Structure 1
Amino acid sequence: MTPAEMEKRIVRYGDLMPCKTAFIDAHTPGSDQKENFTIIGGGVSESPDQHVHIGIPHGFNIGAAGQPPKCRNSLHSHRTAEVFFVLKGRWRFFWGRWGDAGEVILEEGDIINIPTGIFRGFENIGTDYGMIMAILGGDDAGGGVLWAPQVIEDAKDHGLILGQNGKLYDSKKGATLPEGVQPMPVLSDAELQNYPELSPMDVVGFGVRRYNDMVAMAQKTPCCVIGETGIIQDKPGFEVGFLTRASSSKEMHQHDRPSVLMPMKGHWKLIWEGGQATLNPGDTASVPAGLMHTAVPSMTGEASLFHILATDDPAGPTWSGT
């Protein structure tokens, strides 16, 4: 693979193209300043304006959310895994029918694997623009987003209607539901009984790992963060690995499916048969299946990197909170 061919599979942080109308809460005060990014895969955006950087199927989706201080993402749920790591800023993650069942604060480098089947949201509580990177299970990311009823009701007051076809219509721009398309129904009281109110111990104990702890565990060999044998033991249809300068290796290797490299700290040199490229924090690199490659820090100083690889496990509910 030539350097020019590989560069097409690298999404640079500075080249990310945001969508400000990706979801139903795009006009709702408190959520109207957020930016959503679809980096790899189709994503779960409800807007035709969402730009997809790399459409090649990987068995999972990679996205990101960028928000100014005090901006939040409204309560929603997914049918497959949703994993975040904090690239920039300080973030509060909260969950439950009304968002008050529990919360946790994450700092840069921390990671959270949110259980499927619960309503969750997140808010930038830092003092500057923040960015969180997301991994969603499955090529179709579970078929979209399930919103808490109050989110859909609030959106109507600000001109956005979600159709049952999964698409958004902005009445402020004169859009109406097409003939034959009904509004997305809100979840009934009976359906809401299937969404548990998990305790902080359930969510934090199960799915949160701190950056410094991962660094300590990746001093000799790369650490499996999420996976069947990971420090978060789950099978969401993908594995998340973590390596540092101390656990990086110049030895070339390959995978039988595409893999993704996402630097967290420092600058990394991606080396493959045919060339090399430098990856910076916030960049996302998709390495083709069967390509011999490795990644090593290219400068002195702290260096860490997340590695994502699909598994043969189905991308679906993996933990019910029981």
Structure 2
Amino acid sequence: MTTAKPPVEAPSMLPDQMEKERVYRWDKRKSLSDAFLMSRLPGLRTDVYKIINKGISENPAGDPAISIEHPFSMTIVGIEPDHGNGLHSHTTQEVFFPLDGNLVFAWGDNAEHSLELGPWDVITIPENVMRQFWNHSGKTVHLLAMLGGTNADTKGSMTYHPRVLEEVQKTGMRLDEEGKLVLPTEKATG
């Protein structure tokens, strides 16, 4: 038997406040091209648009457009042709939803399993499973990615595959003791 719950008084929100606090406008988007430790490796460039929660971004500049805390993060990722991300895992589930093109999703300790998904297809990757995606098309493809958990739940939740870490070490990038991205210092030319 189902019983009705007492009504919860919803907060009153005027359109201006709703727009300021809870709306993301694509035409005002700002991307972060170095959100992750692997972002500067050859073939691993992506444009990351943080919408809700920081999620797993290791770059402290990656503030979301909607700053009110939610129990999940929502991000749009733009993936250039012949690019993707490096093999990694999270301690939370992750959902991927290609928006405007095909992407190959691979998983397993060495990415030994894969499926190609098209627009509006969905794949959910369990916790602690190595995963990556790749764009083999001739155009930039956008992907909606959702990760379970609050900012506190997802902080430091990424584990990179050893091969990715080997490549990262060659670039001079690293993570500090708080898990934030430290870019190599650029040498002055003159």
TM-score, normalisation: structure 2: 0.84
- RMSD of aligned Cα (Å): 1.5
- Asked whether the equivalents of residues 96 and 102 of structure 1 are also in contact (C-alpha less than 8 Å), the reply is yes
Are the aligned partners of 2:175 and 2:182 in contact in 1 as well (CA < 8 Å)? Answer: yes
* Corresponding residue for residue 56 of structure 1: 68
Distance 1:97 1:163 in 2: 26
* Higher relative strand content: 1
Given the alignment of the two structures, is residue 130 of structure 1 paired with residue 141 of structure 2, yes or no? Answer: yes
11, 17, 29: which one pairs with 1:5?
17
- 1:22 paired to 2:35: yes
5 Å-filtered alignment, 1:42-191, equals: 42-99=54-111, 101-140=112-151, 141-143=153-155, 144-173=157-186
Partner deviation per Cα, 1:243-277 (whole Å, 9 max, x = no partner): xxxxxxxxxxxxxxxxxxxxxxxxxxxxxxxxxxx
User: Corresponding residue for 1:247?
Assistant: none
CA separation in 1, counterparts of 2:25 and 2:170?
37
Unaligned regions of 5+ residues in structure 2, if any?
A: 1-12
Contact 2:54 2:62 in 1 (8 A): no
Deviation at 1:54, TM superposition (A): 1.0
Instruction: Give the secondary structure class of the aligned counterpart of 1:61.
Output: strand
Once residues 119 and 27 of structure 2 are traced to their aligned partners in structure 1, the CA distance between those partners, rounded to angstroms, is: 18
- In 2, the alpha carbon distance for the partners of 1:164 and 1:97 equals 26
Q: Which runs of 5+ in 1 are unaligned?
A: 175-322
Shift of 1:14: 2.4
Q: What is the identity, as a one-letter code, of the residue corresponding to 2:110?
A: W
Percent identity between the two aligned chains: 34
Q: Using the alignment, how far apart are the partners of 1:124 and 1:167 within structure 2?
A: 27
CA distance, structure 2, for counterparts of residue 79 and residue 85 of structure 1: 19
Q: Tell me the CA shift for residue 142 of structure 1.
A: 2.9
SS in 2 for 1:88: coil
**In structure 2, how many angstroms separate the alpha carbons of the residues matched to 1:15 and 1:41?**
17
Aligned-residue offset at 1:67: 1.1
Distance 1:67 1:155 in 2: 19
Aligned residue pairs, count: 172
Matches of 1:81 and 1:96 in 2, distance apart? 14
Find the aligned partners of 1:53 and 1:11 in 2 and give their Cα distance.
6
- Equivalence for 2:6: none
